């Protein structure tokens, strides 16, 4: 069993796609074990995406990620990290495979509807960024 962190980004929440996005993960067999809605400050978005701080899109990305509410979820399942990324599709929705979330809903390379951790190290850091031990325990069964 593995856990990963996913976000439904502001374009997904504002277009009323929370349930649709979660449905993609659930129908693929991933289980939601923690979930919350929140709004990041620009500073929090910069901390979350700090690996991208030197990229040309960083300022726009952190503006966008702090522009409205997001939903954070912890997904659990076998190979959850790579499976979540497969279900999301490529970063650029125009290049995302048929049947993926970004192909179905992504607007452009920035407003691509979902985030998913890219490694066990990122997943551990990103889960701890959004959820307390107590919130993670609540989803245990
Ligand atoms: P990922 O979300 O597929 O892992 P990353 O390369 O880690 O992609 O980039 C993080 C986020 O930054 C992307 O999901 C997207 O929102 C944004 N982003 C990435 N590349 C670009 C770009 O070239 N232009 C604008 N935004 C980008
Ligand atoms: Mg990434």
- For residue 94, pLDDT over 90 is answered with yes
Q: Which bound ligand lies closest to the C-alpha atom of 61?
A: 1
Q: Does 115 qualify as catalytic in the annotation?
A: yes
Query: 8 C-alpha to center of ligand 1: Å?
Result: 14
The C-alpha atoms of residue 62 and residue 136 are separated, in whole angstroms, by: 26
Q: Which bound ligand lies closest to the C-alpha atom of 92?
A: 1
Count structural domains, the chain.
1
DSSP annotation of 51 reads G
Residue 7 lies in a domain: yes
- For residue 140, pLDDT over 90 is answered with no
Residue 118 lies in a domain: yes
What mean pLDDT do residues 28-39 have?
A: 98
The C-alpha atoms of residue 89 and residue 107 are separated, in whole angstroms, by: 13
Q: Specify the CATH number for the domain of residue 130.
A: 3.30.70.141
Q: Report phi then psi at 36, rounded to 5.
A: -155, 155
Residue 104 lies in a domain: yes
Beta-carbon contacts of 54 under 8 Å, excluding residues fewer than 6 positions away, are: none
Catalytic residue selected from 7, 115, 116, 131: 115
Q: Count of CB atoms within 10 A of residue 52's CB?
A: 13
- pTM of full prediction above 0.85: yes
Cβ atoms of 88 and 76 within 8 Å: the answer is: no
- Three-state secondary structure call for residue 6: strand
What mean pLDDT do residues 76-93 have?
A: 98
- Percent of residues, the chain, with pLDDT higher than 70: 100
Residue 71 lies in a domain: yes
pLDDT of residue 102: 98
Residue 123 lies in a domain: yes
pLDDT of residue 130: 98
Residue 101 lies in a domain: yes
Query: Contacts for 42-47 with beta carbons within 8 Å, 24 or more apart?
Result: 42/66, 47/129
pLDDT of residue 106: 98
Query: 36 C-alpha to center of ligand 1: Å?
Result: 22
Residue 140 lies in a domain: no
Cβ atoms of 4 and 81 within 8 Å: the answer is: yes
Protein residue closest via CA to atom 5 of ligand 1: 91
Domain span at residue 109? Answer: 2-135
pLDDT of residue 124: 98
Residue 141 lies in a domain: no
């Amino acid at each position: 069993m593995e856990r990963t962190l996913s976000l439904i980004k502001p374009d997904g929440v504002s277009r009323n796609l929370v349930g649709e996005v979660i449905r993609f993960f659930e129908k693929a067999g991933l289980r939601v074990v923690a979930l919350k809605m929140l709004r990041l400050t620009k500073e929090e978005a910069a901390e979350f995406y700090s690996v991208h701080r030197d990229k040309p899109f960083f300022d726009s990305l952190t503006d966008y990620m702090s522009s409205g509410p997001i939903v954070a979820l912890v997904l659990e399942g076998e190979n959850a990290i790579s499976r979540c990324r497969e279900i999301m599709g490529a970063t650029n929705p125009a290049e995302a495979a048929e049947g993926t979330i970004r192909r179905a809903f992504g607007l452009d390379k920035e407003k691509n509807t979902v985030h998913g951790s890219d490694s066990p190290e990122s997943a551990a850091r990103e889960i701890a960024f959004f959820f307390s031990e107590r919130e993670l325990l609540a989803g245990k069964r």
